[in-house]
Structure 1
Amino acid sequence: MTRAELGLTVLCGADALDRPIRWAHVSELEDPTPYLVGEELLLTAGVRLPSDVPAYVAGLVSSGASAIGFGVEPEFPEVPSSLVHACAAQGMPLLEVPPTTPFLAVSQAFAALLAEIAVREQRMLADSQRALTRAATRVRPVEAVLSTLAAVLDCRADLVDDAAAPADVASLVRRVSSGRGPRSASAQVGEDHVTLDPVGSAVLVVRRATPLSAAERAVVAVALALLGLLRRDVESERGRLARLAASALLRQEVSGLEGVTGPGPYRVVAGESRADYDVLAQRYGPLVAEEGDGFLALVAAGVEIAGPVGVAPLPGLHRTDLDAAAAEASALLSRAQATGEPALPASDLASLVDPAAAKAFARRELAPLLNRPDLIDTLRAWLGQHGSWEGAAAVLKVHRNSVRHRISHAERLLDRDLGTADARTRLWLALTWLD
């Protein structure tokens, strides 16, 4: 809590100020512990401060109070030294409340702060749910959901079974997956807080340095529901064999394609949408392969594709040709996702620019954003949607206010007016040539 206008002074226990606080509670009882539930900031002016101050503080510690706020005047002109010494000895944070700050102001500040936290957590939960749902539509949905969960909660998220469980959590994994013990578990393992939840025959292991809040546990619950649905599909034998066949074919020299794709020339298509993948897989079968969080497909040049995909020409049917075309199509995918339309290789304008010079231009223009991929993606989506907040929000699967905030932040970092045609043109070219 940082409310400088309250004028609170920390007298001791500064290293424990990160304790959670549910509420600010006022009590002048000699023993307020029967009326505490834990995690309170106890406010008192010492009207009935007992003579045995260490016992008073010990009772508050045992009841789970998080801190004491002592109001000076009218009872005491300063915080009693006996209280300061007792709190310091027992690790209880002690705050001095000045006479100009009524306890009601402290309570109101806590109420406002708790409301802010609730709003932030609801927004975080909604944004996380959209991100996880979007990840579940990718071609490798289980891996995408795990990586998205890790990014959202700043944690490590792994789906393991008994045989592959890390040694430090192996016993917990066996207990949770056995079905005979608790259906979930949490524990301190080394320096990590670890939670374990079953997903079919596997276990989701989430670990990070700090415990999960209630809202963050709700995010994990969303991921668990998605993973439970996805695992049943991913583990099917038919799907596994199809993926193996596709990967094998697309990593070797390709021949005899006309019976499947039609006459050449051919193109390589890169995408992430499950809908596009299903359409292409139904038509071309083993010539559609999973790649990272998305897919690669080999199609005839005349095939019409409407979705947000990167498309690159395939000059030949050897592995080196395929690798080069796949890399180009994958690089074009981000532009396609921004505009919502297929992205083809750069127009004739690009052919007039030396590739090295183009990349140097891109890195120079976008230098302040190069370590912020979230702002790069948002800027690409916003420009690709002609500056439409709603269009960019739909592409990114976030609220339009999030887009406004990110674009405003990018504008400050770039130190330019993004409302001008010159700035937008230069940045779009930079984004096009960045990769």
Structure 2
Amino acid sequence: MRVADLLADPALNIRLAAPGGPGRLARPIAWCAPSEHMDPTPFLSVNALLLTNGMGLNVKDYRIWDAYVERLMSVPVSGLVFGLGAAHRELPAGLVQACEAHGLPLLELPPEVPFVLVMRHVDQLIAAERYAELRTGWELADECTRLAAGGHSLAQVLERVATAINARVAVLDHNGFELMSAGTAGGGTARTTLSLPSGGSLRFKLAIEGIKSSVVLQPLLGPVAAVIAMQLSYTLGSRSPLHSREAARFMEGLYEARGTPTPALERYAVEAGFEPDGEWGAVLIGGAGEVAPVKLRTIAWRVRVGLQAEYRTVRFMEEAGLTTLLVQRSEAGMDLMDAVRKSFQDALELSAVVSECGSLGELPLVLQLARRRVGEPGLHQAPVADLAGVVEGLPGPGLVAMARRLLAPLMSDGGPALRETLEVYLRHSGNTREACGELFIHRNTLTYRLRKIEEMLRLDLGDGEVRATCLLALKIVAGGS
């Protein structure tokens, strides 16, 4: 119901005396407020339509009219309907001048039309509009419910909502981070948000941008907000894993694989939607300490949604405290690290590791390397290789037997302490101070043990190649035991 609608009804015979400022005739009417007070503003609310006969304003001083209209504009009211006949035979010139000066629409009501007729007309139109809005809102909610129940994603539900209101809609998390969006802001300039009903600790909002100012959002999108909240609750609060069976089978196979990928692993890749010969990207997201599962899932889901805009194929697998995402790019675009960073800026209490490789044969070792790095707070790029990865990639049980034979003398009485000393010493690259600090022993004790290790193994630990061989042997034995 707009001010201009009153002029369009011939039964009311209302005449426009002052159009008000630009767009004022299109301002909505919330309710009718009859009043004869010189200052009715304490009894008014925004967009009330004021009806008056001017009984308390039978004055000729323009300043009084100007102050009266100025007070009405401070509310602001949608318009002023001035009834003739009771106190005034014609509109006061001062009132017309004040309305024109302040931009308030002034409507002249003839003596034969009572206020009650105007009020009934406005109430009927507002009631009809509210009913139409509610019906449209519930019809849209029913359609979105059918989409959600049919397995459609939250992104598809948002797309339907954006189409229905011709605006851009987005889901924001508790930090105001935009999780996903749909539509374009082409319908208008208005921006607003609706809270999504949620019983959890994380609060979400539905942001609407570019909607026409004539659209009343709460009746239209209130029911839809409940549907979106239910989808969010399932996505982020479900105790069941959300990954597909094909993606989980492929990634579990990758974590178990060593060396050359088997034909079964290549088949799993195809079934999960990947190209076995393509290049790969991996993102592992876990907690750096005690992190609520819903928080971890929220960030992992946010990263996945962000990656889907940049990559052709995105798959993920959930475990307790860890989410693994694999991606393949359709064409050159945003760097994987940059793509993840956009979704990770407000979640530094989590741990994320990003890695890339050029073949399926390399991918299992790359995933194992990245997995070992999860736990340090923040976002990190995994190194290209580490010693454990090199060892894990070495095939053959014979190599394990050779390493055990090399270290066999340290397995005798007193060996565990000597083996630990050797491992710590090599891990600290021969730094005596750091090795003593970790082992909590005196420098002389370390020197004694190292000399004994050299005698038992018949090696010179001063030789860099010997130290590298011993370190590899320790890693191989640890991995093969």
Greater radius of gyration (CA): 2
